[in-house]
Structure 1
Amino acid sequence: MSLNKLLVSGGCLRENGFELGEGKYYGKASLLLLDLATGQFETLLSKTDGGANYPAEHPNLQYTAACLDGDTLWLPTDTEVFAYRLPDLQQVTCYSHPCFQNIHSVHAFADELVVTSTGLDNVVVLDKQSGQIKQILNAEGKDPWHRFSNDIDYRLVHSTRPHDAHPNYVFQLNNELWVTRCKQEDAVCLSNVNKSIDVGQGERISVHDGLWWGDKLVFTRVDGFLVICDPVSGKVLDKHDPFGLERNRPRGWCRGLYIDGNMFYIGYSKLRKTKLTTKLKFISQGNFKYRDGNEALVVAYNMHTQKVERVYEFNSASIEAVYGILPYQYD
């Protein structure tokens, strides 16, 4: 079946989010449906209110990296994981626990849900049917509560920065759970963190997504590079810059990836103010089209021809931060 539409999850900035501080940047969670033929998009879901599982004032509202499980869409916010039935988007359930803080992604493996509680540097494994916690794994192999207290409801805390590991995205390798770590610029096995893949290779460029492409693993970096690794040796095989030496290259924060054969759909968030200026050294000068920055984008890159085939641009009212991209196979 040919791919015609994509789901894009993310959020919109508050006008004064930077001034409010960490954990208060985003005021609207957004899930968009993108038509790949026309470039048109529509909002399927949005969330502008918090609730009992969020701070009372200025909750950080964004949909982060979701996953598909048959006809179920598991869609996370910073502190909750929603299940929606497709294609009618009827809410089936919602799971939330005090150890959920700044969730970056959710993943369905067999009868389990795996949630990255990025703010606590942990990965939380849930029973898919009940939502109960089965296991909490620290991204550095430490006791999950070595730094934080299990008596505190961290859903009500705006930010726990600085993070020690900042786990982003989970994948399976040899039936083991692995997670990407922004701080260490790598991916590690959660049952033995001595097993790792050095994605950054000494460069301070944040690693985000980790997806399978055939028998290879592909990782995104916020500067837009795609890093291809051999899962057996753990070695980097290649790095792809979709825009190469083009002068019209996006200046956005690259995060979110879906792979359909040789076509890579890559998310670029609109740049926002940040105190982490060392992460923005990749921004080039002399950029013509995007010299004043760009809106959030999805870039269609053909890995076989190594050419960008199309750039889809959103508007700030719909989405500014992109976290996840998934296929939508319904009419």
Structure 2
Amino acid sequence: MTDARLQGADEATFIAAVRAEDTARFALLTERHRRALQVHCYRMLANYEDSQDLTQETFLRAWNKRESFDGRAALRTWLYRIATNACLDFLEKRNHRTPLPAGLPGGGSEVRYLQPYPDRMLPEDPHESAVARETIELAFIVAVQHLPPRQRAVLILRDVLGWPAATTADALELSVASVTSALQRARVTMREQLPDRRLDWRTPATHELSDDERATVKAWVDAHERNDLDGLLSLMREDLRFAMPPDPGVWVTAKSAMDAWVSGGFGGPGYDDWRCIVTTVNRMPAVVEYLRTPDHPVYRLFAIDVLHIVDGKVAELTGFPATDKPWLGLPPTL
């Protein structure tokens, strides 16, 4: 059976469920799209908790608008339309959800509301998962936040999901000309934000880490557990970019990042007994840090560092406090 016929069966079953007020069947048909919709909301909002909330809001709106579904569009498309507009409504009420100046020379801007996204919550469909590879990486998520919300929606619908201009225009209640213009402006901004990255996001990219990336992550863990600050410094590019949202500040250069860590106590008494585990978030290598202090017998969850590695060196490092993010599924102690 072809995808089109399967999709048609879904639409017919959905319409029948609506007519029968069958809430169980309605939930079954919409729930299978949860992961894809949540990733979509995350691209729009850069925040895992908000993406969860807005996905739930999408299902509530879908139920309230169920009579409006006539089957001319795919159920999936209809749900994406609702999710996109729910995110736009959210952003309209949240004026603080824009990048802020970093406050440091050369620091650019920072996204303090940024949160990591657990790989285990990505869509299970292999093609969707492959396409998500670069559009879930932190660099893309941060870059897209620099777009005004409606441009952001246009770029994601057109260049990530591959929607036609007319479908995008209908979803956002815009003209096709307005969608085309918004997409052109959005692409210019994305090229400025991601000058060294490819911009063909619909082409699947590999999921596997390269041998160089694996070696760098292993060396990073080894140096961290030995409390070898010089070793860590040697694994960073000189022009490293470091941020740790929601804390303010973006540090540019490896030396300035290391100076900031040391001034915060890293490597000194009470911050010198570490164990690490390796995982992935946002389809990127990540090192989870556990700290043992003199007054505690076990290593306790401390932070997670997400690494972007280029030619065997860490080019970008985004650290997140880990204890307040249960959705990452990390063990609290080692």
Q: Same fold per TM (> 0.5)?
A: no
> Hey, which of these two has a bigger chunk of helix by percent?
2
> Hey, which of these two has a bigger chunk of strand by percent?
1
Give the TM-score band, short-chain normalised.
under 0.3
State the TM-score, normalizing by the size of structure 1. Answer: 0.26
Structure showing greater Rg: 2
State the TM-score, normalizing by the size of structure 2. Answer: 0.26
